[in-house]
Amino acid sequence: MLLLGFLAITALAVIHLRDLFAVVMLFGIYSFLTASLFVTLDAVDVAFTEAVVGAGISTFLMLCTLALTARREKAKPARTLIPLLVVVITGATLVYGTLDMPDFSDPSAPVHTHVTPRYIEATEREIGMPNLVTAVLASYRGYDTLGELTVILTAGIGVLVLLGYRKRGEKR
C-alpha cells in the first residue's frame, strides 16, 4: 500500500508541475516505484523490464527530447472534463475486468491447479532442461519474449526515425 501511495503522489506531482525536466525525473521515479511494486508481487522479470525500459531508456529518450525543446511547458488552454471522463471510464472498465479474478496466491486459482502442475511434471521430458524457470522462460514463453523484444525494437526504431527525420537536402 505504501508503494501504491508513492505512485499516486508521484502521478499527481507530474500532473501539476510545469518544469518538464522535473516531470521527466518524476517519470523515472515512477518507473522505479513500479518496478519495486512488481518485485513485491514476485514478478521479477517484469520488474527488470520496467526498470530498464521505463526508468532507463525512456528517461534517456525524454531527456534527449527535452534537450531539443523548451524546459517549461507552455500555458494550457481552458481545461475540459472530457479527458478526465475518459480516464475514469477506462479505469472503471479495468477494475470491473478484475473483479472475477482469483485472490492473489489463491491455491485454487487455475494457474495453480492446471498450468503449474503440468510445467512441473512435463518440463524435463518435453524440453530436456532441468531448471524449471529457465525452461518456462526460454521455451514455453519463448514466443511471448520474442514478441516483447519485437515491440521494443519497433518502438526504438520509431523513435530513432522521428529524432533523425530531416527534409531532403536539409543539413543538421
User: pTM for the complete prediction?
Assistant: 0.56
Q: What is the pLDDT of residues 31-87, one digit of tens each?
A: 999 999 988 887 777 888 888 888 888 888 888 888 888 777 777 776 778 888 999
Task: Indicate the DSSP class of residue 138.
Answer: I
The three grid cell numbers given for residue 57, joined into one nine-digit string: 531508456
Half-sphere exposure of 2 (CA within 13 A, CB side): 2
Neighbours of 79 (CB within 10 A): 8
**CA-to-CA separations, 58 to 25, 28, 55, 156, in angstroms, rounded:** 11, 8, 6, 10
Residue with grid cell 524449471, as numbered in its chain: 132
**CA-to-CA separations, 10 to 18, 22, 35, 147, 172, in angstroms, rounded:** 14, 11, 14, 30, 37
Over residues 115-129, the mean pLDDT reads 84
